Structure 1
């Protein structure tokens, strides 16, 4: 995930260059446009262009569909499929563009000239603006596949460059608007259309030169078209509802009030767009990674990315939004020569709405990435469509436009709770934790952060000095409160990384900080000696292999390893414990079941039957399964897990079983790890007569020990051995922190009550070695008076299997 985070940060840097330029120039251009057009013409442009934009919803939703299919196929590295996908998407958008133009040139013209409240002397200009907007819609819809392929390839640098050009070109538009002695509204709309056309053509030429799949092709895959349409279908419904809602409000305001109020809405929308595009840059950069995590069934990183991006985006929104809330009246007076009525109130409501909306936005993306567009849009579209008649009724009863505009906050809030619940249902997303730690906690802390600047506003007169002080205090209080109390550790380092990058300060990541402690507690003089200076199994070809189980059988060692290449279990064989032959897979994963991933095995042979217990993982939940075999190669699995998390202290997941057969008591004994997701927190114990139905010990039998620095964080995967005298030894993972682990041991008389020696370290990371970052899951076997311990070590992200031995020892 670290490499992907770097790519996201790089992409975000390009997007933020774009946004910083846009923010600075957008406020300047808006002032000039409003001054030169006047409030009435500004309102006419806003309502006409807004009405036409209602028909571009297909553009936005098919862009999401096209981008998703292109990203997935790029991940498959199938050039033929990628080209077919792009070509099919292009023809789909061309057909839609033609249909939209026909609809606008019939119904649209009628509605413009008969229903909208436009001054009679401005009707001709309004029709010109309408025709230019129709042309822009056609260009925009046919542009969608090119924008999607650019995003899928993550060429955000080009996106940033062209966006800056777009803004600079619009500055040139202002120059002509000032000096051309014709109808200002018509001149403005014409030049804006010309800039949009130049930008679109530049994008297309770039794509044609960089991506061979964009070259002209007659391919049109009807099956793929159907899949993309089905995926987009519910998105069209949802976007139709959102567009009808926003532009419907614009039209209602136009009918009940004047174009001046439309101008106020337009200004609020422009401020909102400027702020949110700055904040949304990180979300845009992270979206391809979200799809790729889901496509790889990496649900842990999928969920973590939603948490981190949402927290980071809310943090950035608060940094900008709090000063705006405090000083919007002064900013408007400074910004505009003429401030339309209601503008200040609309902007304040918009910022509150945005906080709720951005808590929901990446949850939405999670539902889109997991292919649940239907459920996402079924509920949200219903709410947005219900909102519009409520607004109409409020206006008929004489409500002010401010009250009507505020109704939208309630709708967005309900959508947030519904979408979180759906994502929890479909992907195992920890919804309650998200609402508490991301939304509610952040909202309360933003209100707390508002207190210091609010007190300053109450005690100082208006003016530049107060504005500067309030902005400075707002930023400091917001950063202090949210950084300290709102952001998760990972999100906090995202923010600090951004700040350090802007200030050109290089600081190590949290993992690098953690791993400074790798060599604090070396396991020296304890009798264990690592064999060689490289792994005994695993390399770049095998990719990561981890959590070994080893046993003796017919004079040889047999090892079962978990492998990340195919997410299953492989059987290895060796005569000396160092040279291993892979005999192939003995258990494969079953996608879209509780066995999406399979790993961490333990085997016992009783009366000629091989019993294998393993960890089966589905999104955010791990369970333990059971299988039997007569040859140790071909296993028959039970259809259901044999152990699941049922005890309060187990959290939601159980994993990493270690099983022994107790010949004296004729029972199976299992030690296993349990925790909140894929990673363990403590070790538990259970017993069974048949290996299938287990009776658990009520409490953990081994937890973290804060008196031992090397296992103060938590403990995990173990291997237990029963001695000839009936006592037990457990070898297990001790976590000093999330990234630094060592192998420890403890002893017990009954396998339940464990005692740690003062110096219970066995294996620690070795500096400048293949296991320099961490040592995990031990597997111990005794042969001819020598103890062999296989373990998986990590350097960076890859994990391989190493070996250590101890002569004449019992621990």
Structure 2
């Protein structure tokens, strides 16, 4: 079975296999400041002080090895979730970030943005960090950074793609890691009490095994980029299946406790696009955002050139008795 899945991944990556048609809808964003072409990944959106802020990964400048020009986090602002203006960057700071930082996840608590992000370029030792901001643009690092790396022989010690949500009487931190061979990407979870300042010592890993790992052929060797939303008493996880451009597509799972998860389908919730569409090579790294009016939007990244460019779009999501449904 492993060999079969591996072959499917190789073939799909080579031919850029297509799912059902996807539309870019009303929003298509790509920051051109670093490479002269659109290149924005890993979106996460919050609402703060009457406007929207989107955090996203931006790449190194072409041909510049200076660490300050490594992977970083861009910040864009919008009044309508459609038109976005870049308003800032979060650059590497300190020794633990010197090779770069990316994959932001944000949480607004008492008018402050808490940003959870990963170091980049350290392979097995990449870890989750935390910073806080009153304006959503200028951040102060947590002095205990990095705040989390997983333990146990089921993983390699790496943590990326942070997502933090308050659920019942604690905060849950979802992260992606790999097995000890660095081959399979999978999801884990840790918890901190409600009175936490998100310091390293506050986090407790909740399992000694992955909470979600690749299962279906379309997921290849990778489940990553979890984004969580609560609906009623349940949590729904929108996750990315397969490595980038394999193609990566979005799936959904459901949980009553945040630890045990059940997929809603054996097929992608949001497939990559058809040939000729902007996301024909992938629809990946989702973020599910609930606005103040209760409407929810699925932000995601995509491209049609195997990663030479990356753009971010969104689709509105409706909720039925059976779970989420995309508005066509």
TM-score (norm 2): 0.79
Distance 1:534 1:590 in 2: 32
> CA 1:799 to 1:631, structure 2 compared with 1: closer, same or farther past 3 Å?
same
Distance 1:515 1:736 in 2: 13
Distance 2:115 2:191 in 1: 15
> CA 1:578 to 1:602, structure 2 compared with 1: closer, same or farther past 3 Å?
same
> CA 1:770 to 1:805, structure 2 compared with 1: closer, same or farther past 3 Å?
same
Deviations 1:115-159 (A, max 9, x none): xxxxxxxxxxxxxxxxxxxxxxxxxxxxxxxxxxxxxxxxxxxxx
- Tell me how far 1:594 sits from its aligned partner: 4.4
Choose from 160, 164, 173 the match for 1:659: 164
SS of match in other structure, 2:149 = coil
Task: Tell me what 1:547 maps to.
Answer: 42
Task: Tell me what 2:134 maps to.
Answer: 630
Say yes or no: does 1:803 pair with 2:308. Answer: no
SS of match in other structure, 2:73 = strand
Choose from 279, 294, 314 the match for 1:771: 279
Say yes or no: does 1:536 pair with 2:45. Answer: no
Counterpart contact for 1:547–1:600, Cα < 8 Å:
yes
SS of match in other structure, 1:710 = helix
Task: Tell me what 2:13 maps to.
Answer: 514
Choose from 585, 598, 610 the match for 2:113: 610
- Between the two structures, name the one with larger relative contact order (CA 8 Å, sep ≥ 6): 2
Unaligned runs of 5+ in 2: 1-5, 61-68
Distance 1:776 1:754 in 2: 20
Choose from 683, 692, 700 the match for 2:210: 700
Choose from 561, 573, 580 the match for 2:77: 573
- Tell me how far 1:545 sits from its aligned partner: 1.3
> CA 1:605 to 1:612, structure 2 compared with 1: closer, same or farther past 3 Å?
same
Say yes or no: does 1:710 pair with 2:218. Answer: yes
Task: Tell me what 2:155 maps to.
Answer: 650
Say yes or no: does 1:789 pair with 2:293. Answer: no
SS of match in other structure, 1:762 = coil
Counterpart contact for 2:99–2:120, Cα < 8 Å:
yes
Counterpart contact for 1:537–1:802, Cα < 8 Å:
no
Task: Tell me what 1:720 maps to.
Answer: 228
Distance 2:225 2:183 in 1: 10
Distance 2:76 2:27 in 1: 18
Counterpart contact for 1:703–1:714, Cα < 8 Å:
yes
Counterpart contact for 2:12–2:246, Cα < 8 Å:
no
Distance 2:247 2:92 in 1: 29
Task: Tell me what 2:257 maps to.
Answer: 750
Say yes or no: does 1:588 pair with 2:91. Answer: yes
Distance 1:745 1:544 in 2: 26
> CA 1:512 to 1:799, structure 2 compared with 1: closer, same or farther past 3 Å?
farther
Distance 1:610 1:573 in 2: 14
Distance 2:319 2:157 in 1: 41
- Note the 1:105-254 alignment, pairs <5 A: none
Counterpart contact for 1:598–1:617, Cα < 8 Å:
yes
Task: Tell me what 2:191 maps to.
Answer: 687
> CA 1:578 to 1:546, structure 2 compared with 1: closer, same or farther past 3 Å?
same
- Tell me how far 1:643 sits from its aligned partner: 0.4
From the two aligned structures, give the one with the greater helix fraction: 1
Task: Tell me what 1:163 maps to.
Answer: none
Deviations 1:183-205 (A, max 9, x none): xxxxxxxxxxxxxxxxxxxxxxx
Counterpart contact for 1:548–1:559, Cα < 8 Å:
yes
Distance 1:721 1:762 in 2: 15
- Note the 1:1-400 alignment, pairs <5 A: none
Counterpart contact for 1:623–1:655, Cα < 8 Å:
yes
Larger Rg: 1
- Tell me how far 1:574 sits from its aligned partner: 1.3
Counterpart contact for 1:601–1:612, Cα < 8 Å:
yes
Counterpart contact for 1:790–1:804, Cα < 8 Å:
yes
- Tell me how far 1:805 sits from its aligned partner: 2.0
- Tell me how far 1:573 sits from its aligned partner: 1.2
Distance 1:560 1:788 in 2: 15
Distance 1:550 1:710 in 2: 27
> CA 1:645 to 1:736, structure 2 compared with 1: closer, same or farther past 3 Å?
closer
SS of match in other structure, 1:593 = helix
TM-score (norm 1): 0.34
How big is the alpha-carbon RMSD for the aligned residues of Structure 1 and Structure 2? 2.8
Distance 2:244 2:114 in 1: 34
Distance 1:555 1:661 in 2: 22
SS of match in other structure, 2:276 = coil
Deviations 1:180-226 (A, max 9, x none): xxxxxxxxxxxxxxxxxxxxxxxxxxxxxxxxxxxxxxxxxxxxxxx
Task: Tell me what 1:339 maps to.
Answer: none
Counterpart contact for 2:26–2:82, Cα < 8 Å:
no
Counterpart contact for 1:712–1:736, Cα < 8 Å:
yes
From the two aligned structures, give the one with the greater strand fraction: 2
